Structure 1
Amino acid sequence: MGKLQKDEAFYKKLWSLMVPIVLQNLMLAMVAVADAFMLGGMDQNYMSAVSLATQIQFIQNMFLAAATASLGILGAQYWGKGDKKTLDEIFCMALRLCGLVSAIFFIGCVFFGRYLMLLFTNEEVLINYGISYLKIAGFSYLLTGISQCYLVIMKTSEHAKTTAVISSMTVCVNIILNAIFIFGGFGIAPMGVRGAALATLIARIIELCCSVLISYKPNYLHPSMRDLLRRNKQISKDFWKCGLPLLGACLFWGIGFTSYSSFMGHLGTDAAAANSVAAVVRDIICCFSAGISSAAGIMIGNELGAGNLEKGKRYGIRLLKISFACGIFASLLMCISAPIILHFVKLTPQAQEYLKGMFAVIAFYMIGRAVNDVTINGIFGAGGDTLFDMYSLAVCMWCLAIPLAAAGTYFFHWPVVLVYACTCIDEVGKLPWVLHHFRKYKWVKDLTH
């Protein structure tokens, strides 16, 4: 371990990958912050409705995450091996799948918005605002999957800084347009929730155009038309071997998290509003562990694909220790930032009280979340060990957290903060199981043979 601590190449690569990815994640999370504060500044119901409506995109992202995670896992190993031809075929397969998923969610949001909103709330005012948002934002969902594939392949092929630049530029455009369209300006009448949706759509168009154009620069990967239309049976088999467990895990996690929002929505508008702010803050703080997780997957995957199994194992052990430090940092950050956020956020007194309790829960939750993010999504995923994630979610989320939260919401009528704590118990509960599985080293595997 002392030798690894002196491994400058390890830390240099970790830093070069982690910082751009964390920045990218932070910038993306800032869009949600801008939506929450700008919409909340006009009407608390605007903020709550958009928070619930965007749960549809959250579910879409679960399907997209399975495809792009498979692209990232196999891509990191084949990049480490130096096999760009196979990497291009994997890229094209991910594009086909993500394009199909995006089209399905576009149709659902634009034409069946009311039915989708009814899944999350029975408050008519929130439903109507949500429908207005989805009719415009649904068009952006057509583009999201394609953009994500391009950004993932750039990270995998050592262009993480480029993804950070694209995301930063896109977010800046989104926030500026948010302010103009939501509040009105430059001759444009205030649009409220429809303005937030239109800003998102324009930002997604810019993001995709930039990604496609940059992919044609030297040393970047872009899909060949031949591979887009051709199916490689062996690549498909490898892709689905990684992807199906990831899809199961993503659906378990995504639908589970969506049900959490549903519980809060059924506890009243104050609970929904507090949860909206808590979710945004939690997502921002999680950017740090998500950045380390993505960097871990690429670093370990490169070594495993190159045949350096022992080196990949050492990297995994070191990154596990780093994840604990990240969790403690995230917990402290939550404690420090909570009073500042509570001072600036505009909520009813009751919603403010709920939010205080939710922030206290998040402070404990972040330690487990950080370790699990890095270990499950980064370390285990790098070697194709994707089944564990699905099993752990089935047990800890669906057999523990969701039944407790549902019982507290619909049967026992527990306090809002206690129900919220139930929705966070799974990350802490599965921590011993995650550490036990790590020590089996099933994730130390070359997937390119």
Structure 2
Amino acid sequence: MAAQKQRFKLVTDKKFYKRVLSIMLPVALQQAINMGVNMLDTIMLGQFGEVQISASSLANQYYNFFTIFCMGIIGGSSVLAAQYWGAREVEKVRQTFNMALRMALTLASVFAVLTWCFPAQIMGIYTSEAHVVEQGVRYLRITTFVFIIHGTSLVAAQLMRSVGQAQLGLIVSCVSFVVNLIANYAFIFGKFGAPRMEIAGAALGTLLARTSEFLVTFGYILFKDKELGLRIKHLLHMPGEEFFSNYLRLGLPVLVSDGLLGLGGNIVSIILGHMGAAVVAANAICQVIDRLFTVVIQGISNASSIVTGHTLGEGSREKAMQQGYTFYVLSIFFGLIAAVMVLACGPLTIAMYTLNDETILMTEEMMGAYAVIVFFQCIQSVMTKGVLRGGGDTKFLMKADILFMWLVSIQLGGVGGLLLGWPAWLTILALRVDYVIKSVWCISRLKSGKWIHTADGIAEEEPEKVTG
């Protein structure tokens, strides 16, 4: 049936906003804590100059590549988990967890082996500066042991949001923050009788923090949680054929899409890495402040995906459409706030680092570019990672991610930054121009109503015609 063009007013039901807040706030607080940890890491290593900041930043870009694959697993699985939870198909939700954890374990094992065997080659992809590579290898050697424990605990904790338990991720992040802060201070600077390890101390702090996350996450899910009731016995059985069919249809495109986005993000880091250590250091500082002020929009993105999935699981298409328009307006509002906050707090953040004059000027220029980027980042994030993904429109989103990042942003930024000698601020704008294009294209998709695709076995009501 062809989608009918409909007009919707914004949601006015207070219960809807309370539900959104119950998901958004724990996620936003969790992300704020994670960004706070990253900021502390960068500030602490910043006492040793641009080389160690650059090395840890580039090493973490490789690790971020892994986490983006994990987020692809989470995103694809969350589409099914949220819809099945809305339909009260608890056993199918357990099968979703089972599948996601198996995939995360396999992925983590591959990354761990590659990191242990080829750390110098991995760093060499991001930079040609030998002293940065040397420091990065020190970091990667220790974080080899992080992949399996963090990959599985990240997937498990994030999927719990799909069943209405967003607080678990917040609790886990609080524990991780305390452990990471103490361990970093002790091992980076050699306090409390610990050896002074500098960048290797930051890696060790990360390992200890991720271990605490693993223990808290699976301790709660497997032994305390009653609502989902996931136990070890449920993880020993392979999901059924019907589940695989649904996952391939709705979940696999998300994994492919996020994987290609992660690879594209690494290409962005490679381009910036070959523009010099000062550019990498400036971008690392800008990314911290950017992420710190987009935590709320990440919360809204998660909330919009989960609420949309639950609503469609209940069989209400028109309600999901109305909620989608509401989330769109919220994304514009919070995008503007984030842009203003980046401009206002950027100078204060830069003052916290020990940098030379060239890097300070470059960072100030890039901070202005990030203020523009963050506005469109908010809109496209709520649409691509939120509403449309929750609606199961994963194949469309895969095309959007592949086309605009790979055929526009990377090409334009690579030519400008590496061949034409553009300044860093203009290069980063070019590398993120896909955010602008996706913001416009996804709004058109939302209005069309063609983004709604439910899992097999979930009844869907016919939309009512809207007149006037």
Instruction: Please classify the TM superposition score into its range, dividing by the shorter chain length.
Output: over 0.9
1:403 corresponds to which residue? 411
Give 4+ residue runs of structure 1 displaced > 6 Å after superposition: none
Q: Secondary structure at the match of 1:436?
A: helix
Pairing 1:383–2:391 present:
yes
2:256 to 231, 242, 248: 248
The AA in structure 2 aligned to 1:245 is P
Structure 1 residues 374 and 206, CA, compared in 2 at 3 Å: closer, same or farther? Answer: same
Say if 1:35 and 1:196, in contact at 8 Å, map to a contact too: yes
Give the Cα separation in 1 of the matches to 2:159 and 2:234.
Answer: 18
1:47 to 49, 53, 65: 53
Give the Cα separation in 1 of the matches to 2:297 and 2:243.
Answer: 30
Give the Cα separation in 1 of the matches to 2:456 and 2:150.
Answer: 29
Say if 1:24 and 1:168, in contact at 8 Å, map to a contact too: yes
Pairing 1:270–2:316 present:
no
Q: Secondary structure at the match of 2:448?
A: coil
Pairing 1:315–2:323 present:
yes
Give the Cα separation in 1 of the matches to 2:456 and 2:316.
Answer: 12
2:29 corresponds to which residue? 23
Give the Cα separation in 1 of the matches to 2:454 and 2:260.
Answer: 27
Pairing 1:185–2:191 present:
yes
Pairing 1:327–2:308 present:
no
1:85 corresponds to which residue? 91
Pairing 1:117–2:123 present:
yes
How far off its partner does 1:221 sit?
A: 3.7
Q: Give the TM-score normalised by structure 2.
A: 0.93
The AA in structure 2 aligned to 1:177 is A
How far off its partner does 1:329 sit?
A: 0.9
Deviations 1:149-202 (A, max 9, x none): 221232112211222111112122112211111011111121011111111111
Say if 1:383 and 1:447, in contact at 8 Å, map to a contact too: no
Say if 1:122 and 1:266, in contact at 8 Å, map to a contact too: yes
Say if 1:303 and 1:311, in contact at 8 Å, map to a contact too: yes
Give the Cα separation in 2 of the matches to 1:348 and 1:260.
Answer: 24
Structure 1 residues 299 and 223, CA, compared in 2 at 3 Å: closer, same or farther? Answer: same
The AA in structure 1 aligned to 2:41 is D
2:212 corresponds to which residue? 206
Structure 1 residues 113 and 308, CA, compared in 2 at 3 Å: closer, same or farther? Answer: same
2:361 corresponds to which residue? 353
Pairing 1:13–2:15 present:
no
2:464 corresponds to which residue? none
Give the Cα separation in 2 of the matches to 1:100 and 1:48.
Answer: 29
How far off its partner does 1:224 sit?
A: 4.0
Pairing 1:443–2:457 present:
no
Give the Cα separation in 1 of the matches to 2:256 and 2:248.
Answer: 12
Give the Cα separation in 2 of the matches to 1:238 and 1:44.
Answer: 48
Say if 2:80 and 2:251, in contact at 8 Å, map to a contact too: no
1:140 corresponds to which residue? 146
Pairing 1:32–2:44 present:
no
How far off its partner does 1:353 sit?
A: 0.9
How far off its partner does 1:415 sit?
A: 1.9
1:366 corresponds to which residue? 374
2:178 corresponds to which residue? 172
Say which is worse superposed, 85-94 or 29-38, in terms of deviation: 29-38
The AA in structure 2 aligned to 1:360 is G
How far off its partner does 1:5 sit?
A: 4.3
Deviations 1:185-231 (A, max 9, x none): 11112101111111111111111111111112133542442443323
Q: Secondary structure at the match of 1:430?
A: helix
Say which is worse superposed, 117-126 or 227-236, in terms of deviation: 227-236
Pairing 1:60–2:29 present:
no
Give the Cα separation in 2 of the matches to 1:304 and 1:168.
Answer: 33
1:107 to 99, 106, 113: 113
2:3 corresponds to which residue? none
2:298 to 279, 290, 294: 290
Q: Secondary structure at the match of 2:449?
A: coil
Q: Secondary structure at the match of 1:119?
A: helix
1:434 corresponds to which residue? 442
How far off its partner does 1:243 sit?
A: 2.7
Q: Secondary structure at the match of 1:445?
A: coil
Say which is worse superposed, 46-55 or 240-249, in terms of deviation: 240-249
How far off its partner does 1:2 sit?
A: 9.6
Say if 2:79 and 2:251, in contact at 8 Å, map to a contact too: no
**Consecutive unaligned residues in structure 1, runs of 5 or more:** none
Give the Cα separation in 2 of the matches to 1:358 and 1:298.
Answer: 34
Q: Secondary structure at the match of 1:219?
A: coil
How far off its partner does 1:381 sit?
A: 0.6
Q: Give the TM-score normalised by structure 1.
A: 0.96
**Consecutive unaligned residues in structure 2, runs of 5 or more:** 1-6, 458-468
Say if 1:96 and 1:228, in contact at 8 Å, map to a contact too: no
The AA in structure 1 aligned to 2:117 is F
1:157 corresponds to which residue? 163
Structure 1 vs Structure 2 CA RMSD: 1.6
Give the Cα separation in 1 of the matches to 2:372 and 2:77.
Answer: 32
Say if 1:305 and 1:448, in contact at 8 Å, map to a contact too: no
How far off its partner does 1:409 sit?
A: 2.6
Structure 1 residues 153 and 269, CA, compared in 2 at 3 Å: closer, same or farther? Answer: closer
2:351 to 323, 343, 347: 343
